[in-house]
Amino acid sequence: MKRNKLILALSALMLGTQACTDLTEKTYDVIPTNQFGGTADQQAALIGPLYNALGGYWENHFWLNTSTDEQMIPTRGGDWGDGNQWVRLYTHTWDPALDNGRFNGPWTWCYNPISKINIHLATVTDAKTKAELRALRAMFHYQMLDYFGNVIISDNKDDLAPKQSTRKEVFNWIEKELLEAYPDLVETVGGAYYTRFNKYVVDMILAKLYLNAEVYTGTPRWQDAITRCDNIIKSNKFSLAPDFFSTFSVNNQNAPESILSTAFDKTKRTGFFIQMATLHYKQQLEFNIGNSPWNGPCAVTEFFNSFTKDDLRYKMWMVGQRFAADGTKLMDDNIPLVLNPEVPALVLPAGADSRVRGARCAKYEIQKNNPYGDQDNDFVIFRLGDVYLMRGEAYLRLGKTAEALADVNVIRARAGVPTYTAATLTLDELLAERGRELAWEGHRRQDLIRFGQYNKAWRFKPASQAFRNLFPIPNDQLALNKNLKQNPGY
């Protein structure tokens, strides 16, 4: 496996006696479970499994991304019908009862590790370890704040029926936790701190909080977002890779742009299967992979069309005639397999023409000759390209156009497309540029809400009501905790 691991190797020694029938063992270097964790190194070693939960970041964001204008899952004959759940998600008509499982998954993904972190924090004494755990716990709360709004602040391992807090209260608590943890976090990047929290990861979470503060609390915090982005950029610990796609390659653990990644391995730490989700069934032969893909998520046509062909990022989309690994043309029902970005309906009839509809995503390198259903790419949660666009947006909203242009044009230049001018860089254009740079990375829903675009109509989706900016509190959780109340509108 690529990722660094902390391994505690304890061996047992036996001392034999003169009597051959005396099989009593004496162990000298095994630490009893109830005595382990007394030193700073031991406490640090115990937090590894708690980071494991970050692996759920990609899958939870991936499926919920179907509620945005960049990703759809058409029903193709009998495929992807699934009780119309993908139609409801895309059209913002999800139902708390019918779609309870879709929202209970993200809820438990966040609160299960929060509960485990609370247990560890009750015994941890090392300041650095405690700071890491508090920051990690705050990260999961931040996800809940963004998804559900009025949620639980869980900071006590003994509270079995915690109370619900307002979105503003949760925002203030997350900010306090991160600011208090910050001084004790390291500035080390990579190595033993690859996939772990350091000061720059916390700067990124705070920057996200402040960038969306007006949505979360009603009060904008643009300058605070700039300050946190400055900390990351001016540290010179990160750099934009000249090759945009290298950040998403199969072996991307050394990507200089990555601020926080979560590690995946096709056999040991599984869970990254984007190729299975998006590829056409027959593209198994194109990449010589061991399983037939599912022919599911694809790009919304207008989103695909927002990329010009001279944009280097255009190459993230697979369209046109597909070929097998040996160079022969792929066919489907004796018809050339030509991926067509035009999706004519959300519910398509059965047949080869329906199966080829929609551009497929190859932003993350498809691992060729892979016999497994999962890939080795690490998923990049936070990266430097986003930081430049975040700071540029905050500058633009504060009327500092020159500073905004400098930041956003760094991204445009790498993409090989014309730079913006004061006349062409508008908020609408900046949202479009964020879409092109960060497509399918899990930021689009949050961006659309911040720009006031999430409830607008787009292809096959009518305008939706503002209460849809929050997902419903899962029915399972309402039944478990009587202190919880459903979000308005549901």
Q: Please compute, for residue 51, the number of CA atoms within 13 A of its CA located in the half-sphere on the CB side.
A: 22
Could you give the percent of the chain with pLDDT greater than 70?
91
pLDDT at 16 over 70: no
Report the C-alpha gap between 388 and 409 in whole angstroms.
9
- The tokens for 164 are 């619900």
- Sequence-ordered list of residues with C-beta below 8 angstroms from that of 486, at least 6 positions apart, any chain: 96, 472, 473, 478
pLDDT in tens, 203-242: 999 999 999 999 999 999 999 999 999 999 999 999 999 9
Residue-wise DSSP of 244-269: GGGGGSTT-TT-TTEEEEE---SSSS
Higher-pLDDT residue of 11 and 386 is: 386
Provide the pLDDT for residue 10.
27
Q: Express each pLDDT in 358-399 by its tens digit.
A: 999 999 999 999 999 999 999 999 999 999 999 999 999 999
Distance of alpha carbon 175 from its chain centroid, rounded? 20
- In this predicted structure, what is the pLDDT of residue 8? 28
Write out the DSSP string of 378-427: PEEEEEHHHHHHHHHHHHHHTT-HHHHHHHHHHHHHHHTSPPP-TTT--H
Q: Indicate if the pLDDT at residue 172 is higher than 80.
A: yes
**What would the pLDDT profile of 336-349 be if each residue is shown by its tens digit?**
999 999 999 999 99
Lowest mean pLDDT among 14-28, 38-52, 87-101: 14-28
Tell me which residue of 368, 454, 475, 401 sits closest to 89, measured CA to CA.
454
Contact status, residue 438 vs residue 323, Cβ threshold 8 Å = no
Q: How confident is the model at residue 34 (pLDDT cuts 50, 70, 90)?
A: low
For the chain, give me the number of helices (H) and strands (E)? 19, 10
Cβ neighbours for 192, distance < 8 A, ≥ 6 positions apart: 4, 6
- The domain locations on the chain are 42-185+458-490, 275-374
List the CATH code of the domain at 42-185+458-490. 1.25.40.390
* Mean pLDDT, residues 116-130: 94
Strand partners, 323: 329
Helix (H) or strand (E) holding 76: strand 75-76
CB under 8 A, 24+ apart: contacts of 169-176: 170/141, 170/144, 170/145, 171/145, 171/209, 171/213, 171/216, 171/217, 173/141, 174/138, 174/141, 174/142, 174/145, 174/205, 174/209, 175/206, 175/209
What whole-number distance in Å separates Cα of residue 225 and Cα of residue 444? 18
User: What is the average pLDDT across 355-359?
Assistant: 98
**Angular region, 158: left φ>0, alpha ψ -120 to 50, beta rest:** alpha
The answer to which of 30-44, 95-109, 296-310 has the lowest mean pLDDT is 30-44
Q: Is the pLDDT confidence value at 175 over 50?
A: yes
